[in-house]
């Protein structure tokens, strides 16, 4: 028999209901209200390694376009901690006995995984690991999740934190649960606990709940996704978190809201221009400051954060002049010039390869300005619903009502006929690093489209006033 539910019962936060104010510390969050931090979590929070997250902006350089986006990895981590505790506590309140949930060990472990999931994150959001490191370390596969595992070990050892070995191990497993090469789960039962913070099954997790709502709010955007509905309408069937069938559109809105943020915020043309300049500045400074050498040693790595830009600006070493000049250009809003963009045709997505500056140069016609590779920057922005060309909702299991113990998939046509038939966009943008090169870059970019696709795939022509800018 499954757990017995009553739809008429008022919703409540079991996470909050089990908080003893004598042994917890309240912190007010502008998204979730009061967050209560337990004693073990505070031992991790009150370390220099965790406090470093205050100096990592959640959205990297996005605040230079959306001024309100100054929130940090620190507050996001507290938010995920709270939602992780709320999720597991709600499951425990309904199905705790049925699932064998240990209200102390299991709940503490899930909450710690939420708290520490980003403790190994690099500067400037994902730019550091996906753009900078592959450039200076020949295709580096380093990930912040793996560094989070090392950082947790380092914090425990450096601060003599008394944590049960089993809890310590499972926290790390939960953080990388969505990775393809994640270690096998030491829990042979209660695998659903691994889906709460980093869900490798279908991508629905409290990490997304927090950053989608928090980022939307910080950027002044509306968010029609209500994560509370999912927290109130989930249950575990066959060791998997499933959702009530009536919430199928809420789940679609989760993935659609994430894609909208990528399109309008994370991949904003100006944001990408600044990111490209930051990558160039860090790359030019790497030999002098040995930035990339810090990524293997947690004791050196925790000292690396967004303030690396201020370090470059204030260091008197003349070898940093090129990097300093780039940062000064950002300060003065003398950015790489956006020339144009196109969306890769749907029938070409499967075999698409990232466009490079060399591709654009090879498309330049003779005569006029001769472009060089260092004159051009290219951004290849992938926007999807977390599952590439596939629909992530196809991987989500539902249940009909609380009297049912059966889970099932729901086809798109049963959700709505207005849902998209394609789930992936690839946007290629080209930038001229100097204003006087805009016209030549625009022409070469158009030639590239004609040579590759037999037509111009960009929506608009580049304005003449931009081409004539000097």
**Cβ(469)–Cβ(438) below 8 Å:** yes
Q: Out of 117, 121, 144, 268, which one is annotated catalytic?
A: 144
**Cβ(384)–Cβ(260) below 8 Å:** no
Give whole-number Cα distances, 229 to 62, 224, 245, 324, 380, in Å.
29, 12, 12, 48, 35
221-224 LR contacts (CB < 8 Å, sep 24+): 221/261, 221/264, 221/265, 223/257, 224/253, 224/257
C-alpha–C-alpha distance, residues 395 and 416, integer Å: 17
Strand partners, 383: 425
Active site residue 121: no
Catalytic residue set: 144
């Amino acid at each position: 028999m499954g757990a017995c539910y009553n739809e008429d019962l008022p919703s409540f936060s079991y996470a909050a209901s089990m908080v003893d104010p004598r042994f917890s510390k309240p912190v007010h969050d502008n998204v979730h209200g009061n967050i209560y931090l337990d004693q073990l979590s505070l031992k991790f929070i009150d370390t220099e390694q965790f406090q470093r997250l205050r100096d990592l902006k959640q959205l990297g350089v996005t605040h230079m376009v959306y001024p309100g986006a100054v929130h940090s990895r620190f507050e996001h981590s507290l938010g995920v901690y709270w939602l992780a505790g709320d999720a597991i506590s709600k499951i425990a309140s309904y199905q705790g006995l049925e699932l064998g949930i240990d209200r102390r060990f299991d709940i503490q472990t899930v909450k710690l995984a939420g708290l520490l999931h980003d403790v190994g994150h690099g500067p400037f959001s994902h730019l550091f690991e996906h753009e900078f490191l592959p450039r200076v370390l020949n295709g580096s596969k380093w990930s912040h999740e793996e560094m989070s595992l090392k950082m947790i070990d380092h914090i425990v050892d450096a601060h003599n934190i008394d944590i049960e070995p089993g809890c310590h191990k499972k926290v790390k497993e939960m953080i990388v649960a969505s990775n393809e090469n994640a270690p096998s789960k030491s829990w042979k039962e209660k695998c659903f606990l691994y889906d709460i913070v980093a869900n490798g099954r279908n991508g629905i997790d409290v990490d997304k709940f927090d950053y989608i709502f928090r980022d939307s709010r910080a950027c002044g955007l509306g968010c029609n996704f209500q994560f509370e509905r999912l927290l109130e309408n989930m249950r575990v069937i066959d060791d998997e978190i499933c959702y009530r069938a009536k919430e199928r559109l809420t789940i679609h809105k989760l993935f659609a809201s994430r894609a909208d943020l990528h399109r309008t915020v994370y991949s904003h043309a100006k944001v990408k221009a600044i990111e490209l300049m930051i990558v160039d500045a860090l790359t030019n400074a790497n030999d002098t400051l040995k930035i990339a050498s810090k990524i293997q040693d947690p004791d050196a790595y925790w000292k690396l954060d967004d303030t690396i830009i201020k370090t470059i600006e204030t260091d008197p070493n003349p070898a940093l002049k090129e990097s300093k000049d780039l940062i000064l250009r950002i300060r003065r809003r003398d950015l790489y010039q956006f020339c144009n963009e196109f969306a890769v045709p749907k029938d070409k997505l499967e075999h698409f390869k990232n466009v490079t500056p060399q591709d654009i140069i090879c498309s330049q016609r003779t005569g006029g300005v001769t472009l060089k590779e260092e004159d051009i920057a290219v951004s290849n922005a992938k926007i999807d619903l977390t599952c590439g060309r596939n629909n992530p909702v196809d991987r989500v299991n539902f249940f009909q009502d609380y009297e049912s113990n059966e889970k099932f998939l729901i086809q798109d046509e049963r959700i709505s006929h207005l849902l998209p038939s394609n789930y992936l966009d690839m946007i290629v943008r080209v930038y001229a690093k100097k204003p006087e090169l805009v016209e030549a870059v625009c022409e070469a970019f158009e030639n590239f489209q004609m040579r590759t696709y037999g037509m111009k795939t960009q929506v608009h022509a580049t304005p003449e006033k931009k081409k004539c800018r000097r």
